[in-house]
Amino acid sequence: NLCNGHEAALERVQGITNCELQFMNADILDSNTLDKVFNNFKPEAVIHFAGLKAVSESVADPLKYYEVNVGGSISLLKTMSKAKCNNIVFSSSATVYGDPQYLPYDEEHSTNPVNPYGRTKLMIENIINDWITTDSKRRGTILRYFNPVGAHESGQIGEEPIGTPNNLMPYIAQVADGRREYLNIFGNDYDTADGTGARDYIHVVDLALAHIGALNQNKLNKFEILNVGAGKSTTVLELLKKFEETSGVTINFKYLPRRDGDLAAFWADSSKAFEKIDWQPERNIKKICEDTWCWHKLNPTGYGPK
């Protein structure tokens, strides 16, 4: 419904792919419209990306998160049931694991999300699991994303958060392009190589390819959960240095206390995805920084006004 997106991005996707896309501006909670879309297009499968994803907002307004994320998924699954559309790939998050009992996280790691956003993701995973068991033809693939970053290498599509970025990469890029004065680094006393938080950053194009893998597979079980990460962690300072090298711009920063709810470090064991969907990430941190910087240089104001 474009509440956090831009129609211009779709036009650019058409340019890159040379494919005509059909777009319907509708809310996932509007079942009548969803039914019409399914009647018109008769999709074989759904990749379900429609959700809210800001952790702090989910703490401030949990009901909105349960309504849109959980309610929206139920609405979608009801429509899929009516339309006999039996295959869903769902965007979940590594945030469902919570405090690491061991690292890297594999899919067997216990789940204990620590905020409403994470709890909505876990609930939806369980709802999909219950939904597929009621019909032998149904399939559900859960992709647990680690930290998606980067942009398409054409520089035509990328991340343009509305307002102040919550996440690290868009913030670094906005300091580099002069929109913000300095980066706040939340904590330098973690038990990591340099004291700053460490995450598993995955190029958004590699992440996109995992979805294609999840659709064009035959080794997956009826219900499958797959981690989608690069399999190694990078600290805030390491990412900042790599971005400086790539852009040639000095990125000023200040240390602030730890951000509430942040973990020190985590990264993925994605070997199950390698095995089940023949997928491997191919774009490293350098490529992530190059593509992010290219997107920012070509689009200093993002997609422009809505």
Residues labelled as active-site residues: 117
Question: Residue from 4, 184, 221, 252 that binds ligand UD1 (CB under 6 A)?
Answer: 184
| In contact, 233 and 266? CB cutoff 8 Å | yes
- Does 141 bind ligand UD1 (CB under 6 A)? Our answer is no
Q: List Cα–Cα distances, 17 to 20, 209, 233, 282, in angstroms.
A: 8, 14, 32, 20
DSSP string, 118-156: HHHHHHHHHHHHHHHHT-TT-EEEEEEE-EEE---TTSS
CB of 145 to ligand UD1, least distance (A): 7
CB of 108 to ligand UD1, least distance (A): 20
CB of 240 to ligand UD1, least distance (A): 9
Q: Are strands 234-235 and 253-256 parallel, antiparallel or unpaired?
A: unpaired
Task: Name the segment binding ligand UD1 (CB under 6 A); options: 151-159, 160-168, 213-221, 271-279.
Answer: 160-168
If the CB atoms of residues 98 and 213 are measured against ligand UD1, the closer one turns out to be 98
Question: Residue from 199, 211, 242, 276 that binds ligand UD1 (CB under 6 A)?
Answer: 199
CB of 79 to ligand UD1, least distance (A): 26
Residue for token pair 């240095």: 241
Question: Residue from 15, 261, 300, 304 that binds ligand UD1 (CB under 6 A)?
Answer: 261
Q: At what angle do helices 285-298 and 236-247 cross, to 10 degrees?
A: 60
Task: Name the segment binding ligand UD1 (CB under 6 A); options: 5-13, 69-77, 102-110, 182-190.
Answer: 182-190
CB of 297 to ligand UD1, least distance (A): 21
Residues in contact with ligand UD1, shown as a per-residue x/- string from 83 to 122 under the rule CB under 6 A: ----------x-x---------------------x-----
Q: Which residue is nearest to ligand UD1 (CB)?
A: 197
If the CB atoms of residues 192 and 246 are measured against ligand UD1, the closer one turns out to be 192
**Distance of alpha carbon 164 from alpha carbon 271, whole angstroms:** 35
User: Total number of residues binding ligand UD1 (CB under 6 A)?
Assistant: 21
**Distance of alpha carbon 186 from alpha carbon 227, whole angstroms:** 26
| In contact, 36 and 93? CB cutoff 8 Å | no
With 0-12 CB in 10 A as exposed, 13-18 as middle and 19+ as buried, what is 20?
A: exposed
3-state secondary structure of 55: helix
Write out the residues near ligand UD1 by the rule CB under 6 A. Answer: 53, 55, 93, 95, 117, 147-148, 166-168, 171, 183-186, 197, 199, 236, 259, 261-262
